[in-house]
Structure 1
């Protein structure tokens, strides 16, 4: 059975491309979603992509992954630093959990340096910009034992596109 990946995005990520481009760049969330979809198609995995500004909705999405997803890739955004509810929900999910941050949170101001949600994650990727989502997808598929023998053909098409 093909891997099922749920990608979740927290508050204000719907304003990527506009919000603080000196930190987050000019790539929009829609462009990130399109790149993730292209990679999912090439890897033969299913993917769902969500964004919410509401903590409770993100908790519900994580809970809905139980039995419906093999991996969660999540950019909790501001909730990374505050949400016990997300930690508790992530701990319930038994699959692969990869936290993604577009910026290098460890090089940011004091408010943005310590992600508490990381404690419930299998792995954390930060500072790679939008490419972090693709790296997380590859890592999730590898962790699930479903990475194709060679990923070069899958990655070639994405590299040629220039986005993410």
Structure 2
């Protein structure tokens, strides 16, 4: 079942561990764009739909979970790149159902063309969509899709 965004609220864009190093970390895998470029893309895309973005990044699982808890009743949808927590964190997955809003999981690289351990996601089964391998453009597509789910 596809959850629909409420008409009020921002889009929460969350980035997990190591994504603060975009642009310098393995550019052959993740490209040359920075996290600031990701945030600008999401902000600009949301603005086209009259929406705002709250963007956060942490290398700490607990911080991500706290922001997800705060999203209940305030966010209209969540775009999340959990980084390595995608494959390991049941706690993050459990937190993502708390806000009761649509979630889109984003990965800059094609995780399915990489190491076997990256093929499993705890987030995908609860997401309305998954975008992988399209570089940072995937974030823009995710924000656009969440905006189109507006009631």
Give yes or no for TM over 0.5: yes
TM-score (norm 1): 0.85
State how far apart, in whole Å, the 1-side matches of 2:117 and 2:133 are: 16
Question: Higher helix fraction: Structure 1 or Structure 2?
Answer: 1
Using the TM superposition, name which of 73-82 and 136-145 deviates more.
Answer: 136-145
Paired residues in the alignment total 145
Q: Provide the C-alpha distance between the structure 2 equivalents of 1:125 and 1:114, rounded to a whole number of angstroms.
A: 14
* Conserved 8 A contact 1:3-1:141: no
Structure 2 unmatched ranges of 5 or more = 1-6
TM-superposition CA deviations, 1:115-143 (whole Å, max 9, x none): 12212212111111100000000111112
Measured in 1, the distance between the counterparts of 2:105 and 2:81 equals 6
Structure of greater Rg: 1
Q: Which runs of 5+ in 1 are unaligned?
A: 146-164
The equivalent of 2:15 in structure 1 is 9
Whether the 8 Å contact between 1:90 and 1:121 is mirrored in structure 2 is no
Q: Residue 43 of structure 1 aligns to a residue in which SS?
A: coil
Query: Which one has more relative contact order, counting CA pairs under 8 Å at least 6 apart?
Result: 2
Over the aligned positions, Cα root-mean-square deviation in angstroms equals 1.1
Match of 1:104 among 104, 110, 114: 110
d(CA) in 2 for partners of 1:144, 1:16: 30
Q: What is the match of residue 132 of structure 1? A: 138
Moved more, 85-94 or 126-135: 85-94
Shift of 1:78: 0.3
- SS at structure 2 position matched to 1:70: strand
